Amino acid sequence: MPAWIKQVLRLLVFGNCWVSFAAVCLYWETALLHHLEFSSRLSISIFGATLFIYNYHRLFRKRVIYSVERSTRHRWIVSNDKLLTGFAVLGGLTGFISFLPYFTQTFFLRILPFLLIALLYVVPVGKRNGKWFSLRDLPFLKIFLVAAVWAFVTAFIPFLSRDAQWLPTASVWLTFAHRFVFIFAITLPFDVRDLAHDRKYGVVTFASRFGVNGIKSGARLLLVFIAAAGLCGYLAGWYSPGQGLGLVISAASTGWLISRMREDSDEWYYAGFLDGTMVDQLFWIFVMGLVG
């Protein structure tokens, strides 16, 4: 592969443009499943906010990254901190300005808990055994927080942006549930990637407790729920047959990818392919939705 292509891919993946695009894809998926009009403004808002949050997290933890054995991703982050700062500022400004038309007091209060989780995720919030800890350092908690924020942003905000007083219906709760479980399933393997850091700092995670094979089995079990949700959505008349089948295919392809995970899987497996399963899910729901 030419060197310039590798540089562009590192920029997109390690600079968190890819995961930001994946967030937009999950919003588009919600719009497809519930027959919502696509909003370019909301798409830009979600992309910018995700770009800000992910780069803010990386920059905040840069000193931690220095202190562990550095991977290709770590070295890239450390040597491109000014670029990440620019991405964070650009994402923050874009996300904020694009969100302004939606902001009312009710809207702000409803998103506030999830906004605080995203902002405080890496910030020291207390001391334990004389050492400061952040929300991501609390045993087993970090994946629940990540899944909750992603599910809220991509399943609920598309509706709240239209009506701040909106309350979820059963069909949207189903989408929220399978979105939460899907994000949980694809985030579990990231515990394996972070094992060295978490061991160093004594963070108890699913990977440190159950090992790589346990993570694979748990993630695949969760993906069975995704397939079941697709079937239930179809039987309830909320999703078309093709959309339900698209969720089943997405669950199967993601399960296959997770089966390929090893403790020494490289950064491209995690930040590239695993994050890409969100794009893959939209692809299957869109394509299968066209035929049925």
Give percent above pLDDT 70 in the chain.
Answer: 90
CB atoms within 10 A of CB 130: 5
Short-list 26, 280, 279, CA closest to 150: 26
Residue 148 binned pLDDT confidence (cut-offs 50, 70, 90): very high
Distance CA 5, CA 197 (A): 30
Q: Containing domain of residue 222, as a range?
A: 3-291
Burial of 61 (0-12, 13-18, 19+ CB in 10 A): middle
Q: What is the arithmetic mean of pLDDT over 89-107?
A: 94
- DSSP per residue, 99-138: HGGG--HHHHHHHHHHHHHHHHTTS--EEETTEEE-GGGS
Positions of E strands within the chain: 126-128, 131-133
Q: Is residue 128 very low, low, confident or very high in pLDDT (cuts 50, 70, 90)?
A: low
- What is the Cα–Cα distance from 105 to 107, expressed in whole angstroms? 6
pLDDT score at 203: 66
Q: What total number of domains does the chain contain?
A: 1
Q: What would the pLDDT profile of 195-253 be if each residue is shown by its tens digit?
A: 766 666 666 778 778 888 899 999 999 999 999 999 999 999 999 999 999 999 999 99
pLDDT of residue 202: 63
Q: What is the DSSP letter of 36?
A: P
Average confidence score pLDDT of the chain: 89
* Residue 127 φ then ψ, to 5°: -115, 145
Report d(CA 149, CA 170) in Å as an integer.
19
10 Å CB burial of residue 6 (0-12, 13-18, 19+) is: exposed
Q: Which of 96, 286, 274, 88 is nearest to 187 (CA)?
A: 274
On the 0-12 / 13-18 / 19+ scale of CB atoms within 10 A, 150 is: buried
Give the CATH number of the domain where residue 54 resides.
1.10.600
pLDDT given for residue 153 in this prediction: 97
Enter the tokens of residue 166: 């909106």
Q: What is the pLDDT of residues 271-289, one digit of tens each?
A: 899 999 999 999 999 999 9
Sign of CA dihedral 153, 107, 101, 97: negative
